Amino acid sequence: MRSFSRREFVKVAGAGTVVASSGLAGCTGTGGSGGGGGGGIGEEITIACPTALSGAFAPYGEAERDGGMLAARHLEEEFDVSIEIITGDSAADPNEAVSQIEGMVVDDGAHMAFGGVSSAVGIAVGAWGSENQVPVCVHGGSDDITGSQCAPYMFSTYMSNTMQLGPVAPAMADLEDDWYILYSDYTWGQTAFEAYSEALEAEGANVVGSQAVPFPTQEYNPYLNSAANSDAGGIALLVAGLDQRASTSQILSREMQDDYSFMMHQTEDVGLWGIDPAAAALLDVNSQGWSPSLDVPEDWLQEVAEVSDHDPFVRHYMGYVSVDQLVRAAVRADSLEGAAIRDELSGHEVENQTIYDLQPSADTIYWRAGDHQLVQPTHMTSGRPVEEQQNDPNKVWFDVADTMSGDDASPEPSDECER
Amino acid sequence: MATSTLRRLGAGSRSTSAVGVVIASALLFLLTFAVFPDLFVQNLIGGVAYGMVLAIIALGLALILGLLGVVNFAHGGLFMLGAYGAYEIVVTQGLSFWVALVVIPIAVGVLGVAMEVSVLRRLYGKNPVIGLLATFGVFLMIEEATRARWGGTPLTFDIPSVLQGAIPLGVGQIATIRLLTVVVAAFIIVGIYSLMYRTDFGLTIRAGLQDREMAEFIGINIPMRFTIVFFLGSAIAGLAGVLRGAETGMDLSLGFEFVLLAFVIVIIGGVGSIFGSVVSGLLVGVSVFILPVTARALATVTGVDALNVAGIGGVVPYIVMLVVLLVRPRGLFGEEGLLE
Amino acid sequence: MSYTARLKRLTSDVDLDTVRELKVPIGIALVAFLLRPVLGSELVLGTPHIATTILIWMLFAAAFNLLFGYVGLLSFGHAIFLGTGVYVTAIGLSEFGLPFSLMTVVAMVCSGAIAYGICRIIVRYGEIYFAMLTLAFAMGVHFIVNSNPYGLTGGSDGLRSGTTPEWIGSFRGQRVIDVPWFADLLGAFGLQPSYYYFVAVVFVVAMVLLWQLIRSPFGQTLVAIRDNAELARAMGISVNRYKVWAFTISGAFSALAGALLMLSNYGAAIENFSPETSAEVLLMTIFGGANFFFGPLVGAFSWFGVQEFLQSFEVLGLPVVGAIELSGVLGYWRFFFGFAFVVVILLSPRNGVWGYVRNGVQNGIDALRQRGSDD
């Protein structure tokens, strides 16, 4: 006699403890029986979270899940609904992510999905969702998500690379005339490189050289040599993951930090990579989608800290917004049918005050109908000197130096998105 | 050792192509130097330093492979444990880095011996692929145990202030910690070479390799000697891990990444040759630094932009392996009959 | 009514000897058609959807084992051929709008050609050098695909849109083959026309072909080469030529598996070319048993099945002891997997799990027979 559960079921009501329950094989419905043709949300809302829960990216995935859990708790208090979030470990592999979401929809009856740490996973899950009429909120930054790979059931909660460089490129051009760009050699880095080159040239600065750095790499010395050998005054580090640590630690060990201006793309996760606080301090100008150093409510940060093992950072924000928006769309549509939820979400203007508290903005935050991008403000940060860095109650190593509205950062959808 | 191998592989078309490759490489290097002189020198020095780091990582593997005929995939796991063990000592126990530098290699060596006695002893003399697979299983176990004990998030620890910063050289500079690694590597290489070729102990080991039965017949305790060699190889892996952890920190992918690279280096150097793996480590290190610059130089000179292949640094070790094996089918100094 | 009984009815002069002779194709058919129902039952796992993935990897592992088990050539780069199958079909469908069946054939030919080319270069090298060279080629291919030549491969994003042919419809994970005659055929057996049965049919055909190949003089020559290449050469067999052709065929069948995998995964991902993929197929083949035809199949089943099983376990309710909370320990299931692997290698290196089980069963039957004849 044994009992086993299909996936890690997380009951949100209460303190978010993990409870084992038997499989929901009976719950799978084919042919859209969940909503019953507009007959209301009669059952528990099941949300799938296919994300990295093992390997180097596990902290990201766990934070996404935890943010989603918090949102579900708030939603259960506000509306008369019951929400269940189930997770599946994608290990940052797109094939595995597709297999996980398929399992969660087929075997466990998930109605919608969110999460996925990398753009490749996001695109894979979004494509699956579009073929199977399941709305998905993805968390990648590649321009392709709202560009050439955009898909009808995929929604991008996170700013694209192009949006992120909005406030940053002018600041870079002000700081230095000549920049050398090092970028990770995969689509995220490649699209970032193209976007930054174009923007810098438009602002009147020069890109004097660039190097594609194989991803992942631990040896940055040859690339730093090339950068040092050029005439650049500034070095742009469009690198991801552990490379952020490797590059900055080797800059520090070569004592280069005072000789150049440094820029890094998407510094929100930097605190996680076992990085030296001095490494954060050397980064002068950075792009960051969301930061706890924005003027955000303390109690939200506190709730996140209670629910999650990790200090609040952008992935919590993304998980929270995705689950919040998906469920609200289902409530407005009064249905759990994928098509109905998608139609409600597409073009919707966010009304939830909590999100405006988290992303202070004078403009409306909305889901653009053309490419399903959540149009929201983006920020430029700079690293605090080590003495001024905050470590309690949570890590705040960067100051927000500038903010640009979403509409300015991305005036219109990319031409490549044809749906 | 090297000359007899050369003779066995014979002269003829092989050595002509080898000479051709050497001349082509020299020309490419000269071209690079001509187009980017400062960068070339900086990268040459950096490449040699990096090559020594690679050599010390590969040395333990080469020792075990060349002397015991065992393909030890768990070498990567021991390397990783060296780094995490140093973290344990410096951060959790609060002791000095120098303590870790001495204690951890010994601890990892002991662990390696435990592995040898329990698993690998049964595999001597069998098909080396079996050893590879068994040690892969051990590697998986080590990886998961590391994750269980220290978690999945990447870690770093502080190094003593004397090791921080950089030492300026004529052109460019070298991080002090990296210089330490290079010096330690040089000492280890010289030490191992002396042990194997200048002492009676080393003589008995090499005798046991050539003819185990006969060596045991005249009273040499071969199993103990093999265990000692395994201890040495594992301890070197642990030491390399400590230095690596100090320089760049550690994470769970460290083991797999470096064992793959170590294998490539050992193959390039030739299975069975310790000298070969040192030379090949330096060769790969220098190539990783210089080849991308060479590509740029070629593109600049010929005007063909496509020659400047983006991101080629990652595949350079494999390109070197391909080229070397095409002209020398057993690696630089490989011996006939080993793992064939 | 069981399938063997149906077969017997169809061919009335079938007797025990014929069944024994045909045990491999019968076994293949049983595996193909029973895997999903078995996995789907609550007693086993309750997760039918991984059955498709397992079948595809069984085919890939069998193609790999043609090389490793039957010729004795170790390859660390077989992901090249799986990936070629995945990407050629994906590019053909999404970029050029060509039919899937045509692209599968093209993929197999391409993959065979690449295999032929690579093996011609490296066939003369010693075992470990051969293996490392296949790895070098695999990393080279991975690099090329990542650099997105002519915008065809999608780089590290892969190819995700337009990769499903029109005759497959999906809704909320249920995939259905919208082809009338196929649906009717399956309906005759009482089966739903889901994608799984399409894969099962292709699987059975491919495996039977492989089996025939192994039984043929060609296959027997391969085994002779594995056992003693020098002797084979002395007998006048052109060893290298056979090795190259075995490599080519192995590559072609791997591409077939890749084509099926592309549909199953809804597209192409660069991870299909990764060294981890090459390592996985090697490991599951060894685990299952390289010396047997069914070894790789058992290995593929164990690999995915054990993973799924261990990840599903949360609480183990034993009758006397009570409920034991296992999720903490089983989060580290790879530790136990590694341990099991070491044990299997030490106990039965070439025969693997399947060989061990088979020998055990064989010995058991013999012992029973002995007891019976003693009485």
- The 3-state secondary structure of B239-272 reads HHHHHHHHHHCECCCHHHHHHHHHHHHHHHHCCC
Instruction: Assign B268 a pLDDT band (cuts: 50, 70, 90).
Output: very high
Task: Work out whether strand C322-325 and strand C315-318 pair parallel, antiparallel, or are unpaired.
Answer: antiparallel
Tokens 């790895």 belong to which residue?
Answer: C135
Q: Where are the domains of chain B?
A: 12-327
| Chain A residues close to C158, C-beta within 8 Å | 94, 120, 123-124
- In angstroms, how far is the first alpha carbon of chain C from the final one? 36
- Confidence label for C92 from pLDDT (cuts 50, 70 and 90): very high
A301-312 confidence digits (pLDDT tens): 999 989 998 888
Separation in Å, CA of C83 to nearest CA in chain A: 13
A39-53, A141-155, B1-15, C136-150 — which is least confidently predicted? B1-15
- The span from the CA of C269 to the CA of A414, in Å, is 24
Sorted by sequence, the CB contacts under 8 Å of residue C96 that are 6+ apart come out as: none
Average pLDDT, integer, range C84-103: 94
At residue C24, the pLDDT reads 87
Annotate A101-111 with b (16+ C-beta within 10 A) or e (fewer).
bbbbbbbbbbb
pLDDT tens digits along A314-329: 899 999 999 999 999 9
The whole-angstrom separation of Cα B238 and Cα B299 is: 42
CA distance B137 to chain C (A): 4
Interface test mutation site (partner C, options A5, A21, A33, A95, max chain C beta carbons within 10 A):
A95
Q: What is the mean pLDDT of chain A?
A: 84
The pLDDT of residue B107:
96
User: In the prediction, which pLDDT does A20 show?
Assistant: 30
- Identify the H or E element spanning C315: strand C315-318
Interface contact flag, C136 B331, Cβ < 8 Å: no
Nearest C-alpha neighbor of B190 from the set B275, B82, B281: B275
Per residue in B220-230, pLDDT (tens digit) is 888 888 889 89
CATH topology of domain A163-290+377-409: Rossmann fold (3.40.50)
* 3-state class (DSSP) for residue A165: coil
The enclosing H or E element of B129 equals: helix B128-150
Considering the segment(s) B12-327 as one domain, its CATH architecture is Orthogonal Bundle (1.10)
What residue type is assigned to position C192 of the chain?
Q
> Cα separations (Å) of B292 from A185, B121, C133, C136?
14, 43, 22, 18
Residues A27 and A110: their CA atoms lie apart, in Å, by: 9
* Residue reference for tokens 């013999």: C366
Taking an 8 Å cut-off on Cβ atoms, the answer to whether A55 and B252 are in contact is yes
Q: Do A274 and B42 touch (CB under 8 A)?
A: no
CA distances (Å), origin B275, targets B64, B269, B281: 14, 8, 10
**pLDDT given at position A347:** 92
- Answer whether residue A28 shows pLDDT above 50: no
C197-213 CB burial, b ≥16 within 10 A, e <16: bbbbbbbbebbeebbeb
DSSP state, A384? P
Please report which residue ranges of chain C form alpha helices under DSSP H.
3-10, 16-21, 23-40, 50-68, 79-96, 100-122, 127-146, 180-188, 195-215, 217-227, 229-234, 239-264, 275-288, 295-312, 327-330, 333-347, 352-374
Q: Could you say which residues from 202 to 221 on chain A have a Cβ atom under 8 Å away from some Cβ of chain B? A: 211-219, 221
The pLDDT, as a whole number, for residue B286 is 95
pLDDT per position as a tens digit, C5-61: 766 666 666 577 777 778 888 889 888 888 888 887 766 666 777 889 999 999 999
How far off is chain A from C1, nearest CA to CA, in Å? Answer: 27
> Which residues contact residue C186 at a Cβ distance below 8 angstroms, ignoring those fewer than 6 apart?
C192, C193, C197
Q: What's the average model confidence in pLDDT over C86-97?
A: 94
Q: Do A106 and C319 touch (CB under 8 A)?
A: no
Separation of CA B151 from chain center: 27
Picking from A219, A242, A255, the nearest residue to B165 by CB comes out as A255
Å between A253 CA and nearest CA of chain B: 5
Burial class of residue C5 (count of CB atoms within 10 Å of its CB; 0-12, 13-18, 19+): exposed
Token pair of B260 as six digits: 């793959």
**Residue pair B31/B333 in contact by the 8 Å Cβ criterion:** no
| CA B309 from centroid of its chain's CA atoms | 27
Share of chain C above pLDDT 90, in %: 45
* Dist CA B77 CA B254 (whole Å): 8
Backbone angles phi, psi at A114, to 5 degrees: -150, 165
Q: Round to whole Å and give the CA distance between A101 and A125.
A: 7
Is residue C328's pLDDT more than 90?
A: no
Size of interface B-C (CB pairs under 8 A): 106
Q: Residue A69 CB: number of other CB atoms within 10 A?
A: 25
What residue segments make up the domains of chain A, in order of their start? 8-160+296-375, 163-290+377-409
Q: Is the pLDDT reported for residue A55 higher than 50?
A: yes
Is the ipTM, as predicted for this complex, more than 0.95?
A: no
In DSSP terms, A181 is beta-bridged to: A210, A236
Burial of B315 (0-12, 13-18, 19+ CB in 10 A): buried
Q: Chain C residues with CB-CB distance to B under 8 A?
A: 74, 124-129, 132-133, 135-137, 139-140, 143, 146-147, 275, 279, 283, 286, 332, 334-335, 337-342, 345-346, 349
Please give the pLDDT value at position A278.
Answer: 86
| φ/ψ (deg, to 5) at A289 | -75, -40
Mutate to test the interface with A, among B144, B146, B153, B286 (most CBs of A within 10 A): B153
Distance between CA atoms of A128 and B291, rounded to whole angstroms?
A: 41
CA–CA separation, A102 and A125 (whole Å): 9
Residue B6 has pLDDT above 80, yes or no: no
CB contact (8 A) between residue A1 and residue C312: no
Q: Which residues make beta-bridge pairs with C91?
A: none
DSSP C147: T
Contacts of B139 in chain C (CB under 8 A): 338
- Kindly tell me the sign of the dihedral angle through the C-alpha atoms of C258, C261, C262, C265: negative
User: How confident is the model at residue B307, as a pLDDT?
Assistant: 80
Residue B55: both structure tokens together:
């050599």
- Helices marked H in A334-418 — which ranges? 338-345, 353-358, 406-409
- Please answer yes or no on whether C47 and A103 come within 8 Å at the CB atom: yes
CATH fold of A8-160+296-375, please? Rossmann fold (3.40.50)
Nearest Cα to Cα of residue A78 among A246, A324, A344, A395: A324
Task: Look at strands A154-156 and A136-138 and give their pairing.
Answer: parallel
What is the spatial distance between Cα B299 and Cα B308, in angstroms, rounded to a whole number? 6
pLDDT for position A247: 92
How many alpha carbons fall within 13 Å on the CB side of residue A62?
Answer: 18
CA distances from A368 to A143, A233, A364 (A): 15, 38, 11
CB B123 within 8 Å of CB B130: yes
Helix residue ranges per DSSP H, C163-194: 180-188
Q: What is the DSSP string of B155-199?
A: B-----GGGSSEEE-SSSEEEHHHHHHHHHHHHHHHHHHHHHHHS
Cα–Cα distance, A64 to A319 (Å, whole number): 4
Identify whether the C-beta of residue C154 lies closer than 8 Å to the C-beta of residue C87.
Answer: no
pLDDT of residue C319: 58
Q: Which of C68, C60, C38 is nearest to C292 (CA)?
A: C68
Does the structure show a pLDDT above 50 at C286?
A: yes
**pLDDT over threshold 60, residue A35:** no
C-alpha–C-alpha distance, residues B220 and C78, integer Å: 44
- The 10s digit of each residue's pLDDT in B152-200 is 778 888 888 888 888 888 777 888 889 999 999 999 999 998 998 899 8
